[in-house]
């Protein structure tokens, strides 16, 4: 892979057979979820240096807002459902809000209890979804053995 291909892949991080999960901008494919996620994540991390967020919303932001993105990703990953890019962008936006808070908490107080809880919860969910996909693929090919 040359540098030009690397840059293209880092913007879309999808193979050509999954370009339906991207917006086409000229010759480039831009990941739909990341288009919602990264701009808001960067903006909100910067804003949190200047505007404090009330603590009573923290649990909702950290643990409820990412659920639509996680569910949408899991459905597409496990069952191959095509989905819609506007949903990916919207859920990416919500995930960006959540991850910006998680990142802010870690910047403010590295390895604090709340940010670690969020971090390990995300790792657990992704591991679980990947395990389900692996298990279903094994079941699909069970008769081959």
Q: What is the pLDDT of residues 89-132, one digit of tens each?
A: 999 999 999 999 999 999 999 999 988 998 999 999 999 999 99
At 94, list the tokens: 């919500």
Sign (positive or negative) of CA dihedral 37, 90, 73, 80: negative
From CA 91, how far away is CA 31, in angstroms rounded? 12
Mean pLDDT of the chain: 91
pTM (2 d.p.) = 0.87
Mean pLDDT of 49-65: 89
What is the pLDDT confidence band of residue 143, given thresholds at 50, 70 and 90? low
């Amino acid at each position: 892979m040359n540098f030009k291909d690397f840059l293209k892949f880092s913007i879309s991080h999808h193979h050509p057979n999954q370009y339906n999960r991207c917006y086409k901008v000229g010759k480039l494919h831009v990941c739909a979820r990341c288009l919602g996620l990264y701009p808001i994540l960067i903006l909100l991390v910067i804003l949190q240096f200047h505007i404090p967020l009330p603590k009573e919303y923290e649990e909702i932001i950290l643990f409820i807002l990412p659920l639509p993105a996680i569910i949408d990703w899991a459905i597409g990953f496990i069952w191959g459902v095509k989905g819609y890019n506007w949903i990916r962008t919207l859920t990416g936006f919500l995930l960006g809000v959540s991850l910006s808070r998680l990142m802010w908490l870690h910047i403010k107080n590295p390895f604090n209890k709340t940010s670690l809880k969020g971090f390990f919860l995300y790792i657990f969910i992704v591991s679980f979804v990947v395990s389900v996909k692996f298990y279903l693929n094994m079941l699909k090919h069970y008769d081959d053995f």
